[in-house]
Structure 1
Amino acid sequence: MTEATRAGRVRWTVLAMLFAVTVINYADRATLSLAAPFLSKDLGIDKLQLGIVFSAFGWSYVVAQIPGGWLLDRYGARRVYFAAIALWSLFTAMQGGVVWLSGATAISALFAFRFLVGFAEAPSFPGNARLVAAWFPAKERGTASAIFNAAQYFATVLFAPIMGLIIAGFGWPWVFVFMGALGMIASAVWLKVIFEPRRHPRLGQAELALIAEGGALVDPVEPTAKVPDGDMRRKLGILLGTRTLWGLYLGQFFINTLTYFFITWFPVYLVEERGLSVVKAGLFATVPALCGFAGGVLGGIFSDWLLRRGATLTIARKVPVVAGMLLALAILGCNYVDSNLMILLFMSLAFFGKGIGALGWAVMSDVAPRDCAGLSGGIFNMFGNISSIVTPIVIGLILKQTGSFDLVLSLVAASALAAALSYLFVVGKIGRLGEPA
């Protein structure tokens, strides 16, 4: 039995809760993409308008990152994240109500509800990173971050077939109602499971010592009632003036281009370009998603293995990212084959690679200054999710002009290459900012 096992496993229970709510988080983002082929016909939405509606989430999600990060630092992840889950679930359910509207009114309402979902979800990933930094020692942090990040793929594995069946059997509005209700249940469970380490009723002293001695932020800097003059300027100066962080911001932007293709336009690609039914598209999408999930978990395990074998933190984090992004270039193969089986193979390879390389949040947990972990995650997520605005609109514009996904898949591949180059040539040495190496 290892020391980590003897010490206790409360931290893994916390991670399981993060994984569960992140699965729901991404499933809520994907509801519109699965409903889109039918919703767009019912509401009379063309490709560019659909791309704009897809982007509504991104506009608010990006704008709310810095306030969301500040709220996490000020009031703690437990309370802020609970409110976020409850609110995004409510706004997800309300999207089903647009079925009673029509024309511009329906489009405006759908945009507004998606906008509110994005606003409510803003603290989620900075909250994940903050909790992982508080609960996990450095040697486990890559695995923990990869697991919660891999939930985005598991969301498709678990919910895409269910949503397809709901749409086929009951109509597209009910997927929004179903996911909203599930999120409300999750918000209640959250309060029973999540605490700061020193306040957790079931955490033993041995496990607390293990995570604290391993570099976890079990004692985050408590905010004062009055923020000192210049303190925010100092923090922003570090977070916006460090080359390594800019490399992470760029890398996350390009990695998220792949993410938002997958959770917005990929089901449309399967239904309209490849001629699959909505049920078959939901089942088809689970295979690349499973590969992305496996890659995500393996990328974190491999990174932590390198660290335990004596690699520097910089090498242990960069190698999986660069290798994974280069493997994601396999998506280009879809432009040169007609067989759905070959499409499945190339997509699966691409999303396996994307999963391996999605270690940005682990790196943020490694480098974020102790006194602004939430704000650091918020800025990182803000820059990374600008792609949630750009990607859906650019893809919609390409499709409206060309009527084909060929250029779209080339754009996605180019983004994977750009992510690899960002980590190779812009991200420097990885280590916590403001502390000795």
Structure 2
Amino acid sequence: MKSSNLDTPADPAEKSDRRAWAVMAMLLVFMLINYADKAVLGLAANPIMRELGLSHSEYGLLASSFFFLFNISAVAFGFLANRFPTKWLMFGMALVWGFTQLPVVAGAGFAALLVSRIVLGAAEGPAQPVAMHAAFKWFPNEKRSIPSSLISGGGGLGGVLAAPLLTLVIINFGWRWAFLSLFVVGVLWCAVWAVVGREGTADRAAAPTGAEPEPVENFRVPYHRILLSGTWLAGFVGAFGAYWTSALLLAWVPSYLETSLGYSAVAAGAIVTAPWVLKTVATFGQGALTQWLMHRGVSSRVSRGILGGCAVFLAGAAMLLAPFVTHPGLKIALITVAFSIGAVKFAIGQTINAEITPPAQRGAVLSMTVGLVTLAGLAAPYVTGRIVESAADPAAGFAMAFAIPGTLMLIGGLLAFAFVHPERDARRSPRTGATSAGRRTRARPVRDLSAPASGTSADR
């Protein structure tokens, strides 16, 4: 008699797929919490300034303090991620996120709030690159567009959910209660992640039947060859402008809507949700579109490079136009586009960077990219505060401040059209290894390193 399906062992590949998507779900929530932690300060900007008696430049310093150690931490953790399990690195980061909220709940003043934001920034700096590295361990290059968009889209989704919910908490219970809610959510995520989190095996070489899989050989290239490639440099400029924009969305846009455009706190909280919604839709849509295009045989240059360049170019144009439009509906529409679609560059850019980088160096390259790009977050809130404070009126100050990221994104889009060539730059970073006879051989481009290598160790 034939055995039933219940008696048939589960297919290992199917189990691995289920585990991969369970991990991806947790990474998505991880990034959602990450962005909610960032956004809460901007949502509570006006009550914080009133209660603590802060000027615009002092609040700008408080917002920028989040990035004091952000970049250094991002780079340092990237090298750690090359050597240690991402599961426990992420667990430690999220636990620190939660506990940095407690001094604020306990009635902290400006100094304690400043220190807590610095520590939070140090713990959040590595979040995106380490989460990307963790996801890429489960998926080969040709299947990474959707996972990377989910991780980047977690920020947009965090804004969609956090902006209205945290605004309601701030209005009804006070701004300190918003920080308490983030502490609870962060600790709960750690408890679930300790059970669900695992390391993927997509970077491992295929092994003969019955043998244990062997790690892919640690092929490496000089880091300067990656970081000085046209693909990386052009992507950096666009991502820098897009991150400057994201920092303004977190720190200043709610206040801008209230002080310069005259909206109430409730209305501003609702309006600021629109960029997060479009950012989420654009990021998730980009992942699906890019993966479909690559499946159809479209080059990475077109499906990733040109698409990302178009997104930041349009965002930059909208940013420059928005302050000069008088029609309220059109102004809000331009603000929504300006502060949203440029974020597509984060998912595309990191996927491209992984494409041109050997797996043994991927964690470090992704983290160095984030460390350099997020210097924009260190500068943007404080520079904007100084510009607004020195302007004749806040509206004029914000118009000048918005011109900075708008121009950067326009330039970044043009550079992407001209210089982003992932396949070309992957070929310029070849991997070399020794055959069993001791001869040096040049293997296929680095971008194929993400897929399992064929053959036995003797063949290699």
168 and 426 in structure 1: CA distance in 2 versus 1, 3 angstrom threshold: same
Please state how far the C-alpha of 1:293 moved relative to its aligned partner. Answer: 0.7
Aligned residues of 2:238 and 2:345 also touching (Cα < 8 A): no
**Unmatched tracts of structure 2, length 5 or more:** 1-12, 208-212, 432-443, 446-460
Determine the structure 1 residue equivalent to 2:248.
261
How far, CA to CA, are the matches of 2:222 and 2:27 in structure 1?
A: 27
CA pair 211-265 structure 1, distance change in 2 beyond 3 A: farther
String of CA shifts for 1:54-84, please: whole Å, max 9, x gaps: 1111121111122111221221210111100
Mapped contact 1:94–1:176 kept (Cα < 8 A): no
CA distance in 2, matches of 1:50, 1:197: 42
Match of 1:196 in 2: 199
Aligned residues: 407
Secondary structure of 2:252's partner? helix
Corresponding letter in the other structure for 1:422: L
Query: Does the alignment pair 1:29 with 2:29?
Result: no
The corresponding residue for 1:154 is: 157
The change in CA–CA distance for 1:117 and 1:6 in structure 2 (over 3 A counts) is closer
State the match for 1:137 in structure 2: 140
- Give yes or no for the alignment of 1:415 onto 2:411: no
CA distance in structure 2 between the aligned counterparts of 1:139 and 1:115, rounded to whole angstroms: 37
Aligned in 2, Cα 1:220/1:149: closer, same or farther, shift over 3 Å?
farther
CA shift in 2, pair 1:221/1:261, >3 Å: farther
Question: Which whole-Å CA distance do the structure 2 matches of 1:285 and 1:23 have between them?
Answer: 16
With over 3 angstroms needed to count, the CA separation of the structure-2 counterparts of 1:130 and 1:100, relative to structure 1, is: closer
Secondary structure of 1:276's match? Answer: coil
**Structure 1 residues 350 and 59: alpha-carbon distance in aligned structure 2, compared to 1, 3 A threshold:** same
The CA deviation at 1:10 is 2.9
TM, length-normalised to structure 2 = 0.82
Quick one: distance in 1 between partners of 2:14 and 2:362? 27
Alignment partner of 1:364 is 2:367: no
Letter in 2 for 1:385: T
| TM-score, scaled to structure 1 | 0.86
State which drifts further: 147-156 or 272-281: 272-281
Structure-1 separation of matches of 2:157 and 2:136: 23
Comparing 411-420 and 61-70, the one that deviates more = 411-420
**What is the aligned counterpart of 2:323 among 335, 340, 343?**
335
Question: What SS is found at the alignment partner of 1:64?
Answer: helix
Letter of the aligned partner of 1:270 in structure 2? L
Q: Work out which of the residue numbers 62, 69, 75 in structure 2 matches 1:60.
A: 69
Please state if 1:281 is matched with 2:268. Answer: yes
Q: What per-residue deviation string (whole Å, max 9, x for no partner) do you get for residues 130-170 of structure 1?
A: 12221112222112111210111111110111111111111
- Does 2:387 correspond to 1:398? yes
Instruction: Tell me what 1:205 maps to.
Output: none
Structure 1 runs not aligned, ≥5 long: 199-207, 224-230
Deviation digits for residues 9-67 of structure 1 (CA, Å, limit 9, x no counterpart): 43222211111110100000111111111101111111111111111111211111221
1:353 aligns with 2:341: yes
Please state how far the C-alpha of 1:117 moved relative to its aligned partner: 0.4
Q: Does 1:10 align with 2:19?
A: yes
Letter in 2 for 1:289: W
Conserved 8 A contact 1:288-1:348: yes
Contact 1:89 1:181 in 2 (8 A): yes
Cα distance in 2 for residues equivalent to 1:212 and 1:408: 53
Find the residue that maps to 2:68 and give its secondary structure: helix
How many angstroms does 1:412 deviate by?
2.7
Secondary structure of the equivalent of 1:75?
coil
Letter in 2 for 1:266: V
Change (3 A) 1:110 1:316: same
d(CA) in 2 for partners of 1:6 and 1:186? 23
- Relative to structure 2, which stretch is displaced further, 348-357 or 63-72? 348-357
Please tell me whether residue 375 in structure 1 is matched to residue 357 in structure 2. no
Structure 1 residue 240, shift from structure 2 partner? 4.1
Shift of the 212–391 alpha-carbon distance from structure 1 to 2, 3 Å rule, reads farther
Summarize the Cα distance change of 1:311–1:118 in structure 2 as closer, same or farther, 3 Å threshold: same
Amino acid at match of 1:377: L
Partner of 2:422: 429
Could you say which residue in structure 2 is the equivalent of 1:112?
Answer: 115
Q: 1:73 to 1:336 in 2, by over 3 A?
A: same
- Asked whether the 8 Å contact 1:94–1:177 carries over to 2, the reply is no
Tell me which protein shows more helix as a share of its residues.
1
CA distance in 1, matches of 2:330, 2:313: 19
- Paired residue for 2:434? none
Q: Distance in 1 between matches of 2:17 and 2:223?
A: 37
Distance, in Å, in 2 between the alignment partners of 1:379 and 1:116 is: 19
For the 8 Å contact 2:38–2:250, the answer to whether it is kept is: yes
Q: Measure the CA separation in 2 of the matches of 1:193 and 1:367.
A: 30
Structure 1 residue 124: deviation in Å?
A: 1.0
CA distance in 1, matches of 2:47, 2:217: 49
Matched AA of 1:342: L
Q: Please, which moves more after superposition, 270-279 or 370-379?
A: 270-279
Aligned equivalents of 1:342, 1:356: Cα separation in 2: 22
Amino acid at match of 1:178: S
* CA distance 1:150–1:429, shift in 2 (3 Å): same
Task: Show CA shifts across 1:339-368 (max 9, x none).
Answer: 442232112233453244442122122222
| Counterparts in 2 of 1:212 and 1:41: CA distance versus 1, 3 Å | farther
Residue 210 (structure 1) shift: 12
